[in-house]
Structure 1
Amino acid sequence: MYTAVHTILCENPTEKMWASYLYFENEPTTKQFLQSAYEKQEYKKANVLAFTNATKFIYYIKQARQYYQSAKQSDLLVRPLLLYYGMGSLLKAYILTRDPFYPATTKVLQHGITSRKIKKNYYSLAEDEVRIQKDGLLPYFHSLLQKEPLYDKYQLSNLLALLPELQPVYQRVYRKTSLLPVTLSPSLDFSQSCTVLYLSEEVLDYAHLTYNSFIYYINRYNKGRGSFSALNADIPSGIIQLEWHHPTCTNVKENGNGFENELFSSNYKGEFFYNISTDKNYMVNEIEIHYMVMYIISMLCRYETEKWGEIVFSFTSEDMYVIQEFLTISTRKFPNIIYDLLLGKRHIFQIT
């Protein structure tokens, strides 16, 4: 999906990220960008389609920018709603690069997901769930990324568990571990195309596997040309060591798709994590995770005003800590991963 990794040194990663979006906010550049995208997909009259959609695409981006800027300046009482609409505008911009006739029907303009309409007297964000509909923005976006359909419903605790940046808060509040950090060797072995990586030995306990069986297990989830192998060397106790091989990448940090394995994810700093969950039904694209969680929070904000107020202003709700951290993380990361998707490259905006 991603052809390369670009690390961009800057003083303010968020400002630099949004400044990079200016590339899409002028007609000549946007027309060329859309025409190239349509030609790769072999659409007829790609130049005409690009001319027709350029203005629409630009306004999707500009609208998203305005939603995010307004959210930054707004009170927490309304911020989730603004962020959710900003997400929707960014998703529509990407969809337009894949489907020049979007929206072909009004069905694809729906949310595509629902939540429970009546919340319990005792509300817990982790216990809430989102249900997937047949038609709408999210299922249509998903269909453009992969063939396997989304499941009928997802519990938020399982979705939150998959966000690398949220892991410290997740562990503190829910007293569970779902992601383990991956340490990469600082030295490169140029004699072979491999990356040496280290994991806590407890990963074997979570998987209920021996070292060699574990390597076989994770290789079953490879989605590209990368693969893992054993590395027998003297290392401190409590740690396991593996090699990751790829025919074109010496180091995994150079690969746009990371480890090319469903069990591994990365944060916006380019650091890697291993998912210890045994429920593979929750292997959802991170873009969709952010969208689903923000949908639930925005619906609380919009339709469950009293409960939302209690969460925001109460000192007794642990949800507030999780929600505030999620809003901060999503504000920074979601536009970043959509930008990556648009250009087909990973972009790591890093403080100088």
Structure 2
Amino acid sequence: MMSPLSVWESLSCFHSAEMAQKYLKKCYQKISLNEADVQSYNNCYPFIYYLEQGELYFKQALATPLSIQPILLFYGYIHLIKACILTIDPFYPQNTSVLAHGVTSRKRKKQQYSFLKDEIKIQKNGLLSHFAKEMFHVKHLEAEKYQMGELLSQIPEMDDTFKLIFNKRTHIPLSLNGKILSFPDEILHHYHMSEERLHQFLKEKTENKVDVQDGQLSLQDSVYGEIPPIRLNNKTSQYSLSCDRTQAYTLPEPIIHYLLLYNLSMIARYETEWWSELLKSNSSDDYPIIKNFLYLSLEKPPALIKNYLLSNL
């Protein structure tokens, strides 16, 4: 997996005002903004500050106890997301409605609470809906509910954890030869599809980000990183396909990490008794799952942001 340092080294190229302005100007020209020069100048320092502040939170999380890691990771991630939003929304924030988190967590029951079964609900306004629409063209998330287990099963690096704890596979690796993606027969059996049907299914689900030619599935030239439901495992540098076709199946992974980190940050802040008991007693399978996810979160969200920003180059 890419080390945190190398991600920050890659992002440090944006820490120059001259570079940031040139980069933002190119982004704004792509969206045919008339004031590309003016807005790139206005936004170059906020863009740099968001990246720098995000980096500080993540580096501090690396050196802090697990008990407060979710809070630092979530707020660090928010700053990185805001830097990305500035590349596509030159006038962000235009109103206060986009500043709220945009998610609510349900009231927890004290008895028999399970993190994997816990749900969050998407609100109409807020940062989540805004960056989902602006960055990934994902709309109509309002009032959608997602379980933590569904979200975690869509992260390819969590596959080993699910296999060890639940004897359940969540992702099946794909082979990539040049731009051609190959699937093991295991996927065809699991999905109950012929190869031809699977190709068409994925072409539709990825919104034509993969091509089908001569009976083969290939990546488009413009693809950089993940193309849900085909996801990139940073640990193995391999594409994989999720076994679980849940509601989160086609959610871009940056959104998935936002939802999980939001809920864990709320638990760390407001469910202190349950959170402290979990960390001290290791009383349930929630503990290794959350611990492994937070360990992954020190690296994966910044890597996703890096991929997003570099794709504009």
Relative to the length of structure 1, the TM-score reads 0.80
Indicate how the Cα distance of structure 1 residues 22 and 278 shifts in structure 2: closer, same or farther if over 3 A, else same.
Answer: closer
Residue identity matched to 1:206: H
Question: Offset of 1:44 from its aligned partner?
Answer: 2.1
> Percent identity between the aligned chains?
32
Query: Greater helix share, 1 or 2?
Result: 2
Is 2:45 the counterpart of 1:55? yes
Q: 2:121 aligns with which of 131, 140, 147?
A: 131
Change in 2 beyond 3 A, CA 1:229/1:170: farther
The one of 78, 82, 103 aligned to 2:72: 82
On the 8 A contact 2:146/2:247 being kept in 1, the answer is no
Pick one of 156, 165, 179 that aligns with 2:171.
179
**Amino acid of the structure 1 residue aligned with 2:254:** I
2:140 match = 149
User: Computing the radius of gyration over CA atoms, which structure comes out larger, 1 or 2?
Assistant: 1
Distance 1:313 1:265 in 2: 34
Shift of 1:291: 0.8
Q: 1:135 to 1:215 in 2, by over 3 A?
A: closer
Change (3 A) 1:42 1:79: same
Q: Distance in 1 between matches of 2:156 and 2:169?
A: 11
Q: 1:316 to 1:30 in 2, by over 3 A?
A: same
Superposed displacement of residue 345, structure 1: 6.3
Equivalent residue number for residue 230 of structure 2: 264
State the Cα distance separating 1:280 from its structure 2 match.
5.3
> Shift of the alpha carbon at 1:220?
3.9
Higher relative contact order (CA 8 A, sep 6+): 1
Q: CA deviation at 1:67?
A: 0.3
Secondary structure in 2 aligned to 1:227?
A: strand
- 1:17, 1:336 within 8 Å by CA — same for their partners in 2? yes
> 2:217 corresponds to which residue?
244
1:307 to 254, 258, 274: 274
* SS of equivalent residue, structure 1 residue 340: helix
Question: Would the aligned equivalents of 2:58 and 2:72 in 1 still touch at CA under 8 Å?
Answer: yes
1:326 paired with 2:293, answer: yes
> Which has the higher mean CA deviation after the structures are superposed, 154-163 or 217-226?
217-226
Distance 1:284 1:341 in 2: 15
Q: Distance in 1 between matches of 2:248 and 2:58?
A: 31
How many residues get paired? 309
Native 8 Å contact 1:184 1:197 kept in 2: yes
The one-letter code of the counterpart of 1:336 is A
**Aligned-pair distance for 1:245?**
4.1
Q: Which runs of 5+ in 1 are unaligned?
A: 1-9, 189-193, 231-242, 250-254, 347-352
**Conserved? CA contact 1:38–1:98, under 8 Å:** yes
Which of 153, 156, 161 matches 1:161?
Answer: 153
**1:154 counterpart SS class:** strand
Q: CA RMSD in A?
A: 2.5
1:5 alignment partner in structure 2: none
Is the contact between residue 154 and residue 244 of structure 2 (CA under 8 Å) also seen in structure 1? no
Unpaired runs of 5+ residues, structure 2, are none
Q: Which whole-Å CA distance do the structure 1 matches of 2:155 and 2:169 have between them?
A: 12
Query: d(CA) in 1 for partners of 2:188 and 2:23?
Result: 46
Q: Deviations over 1:318-342 (max 9, x none)?
A: 1110111111112111111111111
* 2:157 partner amino acid: E
- Contact 1:226 1:259 (8 Å CA) reproduced: no
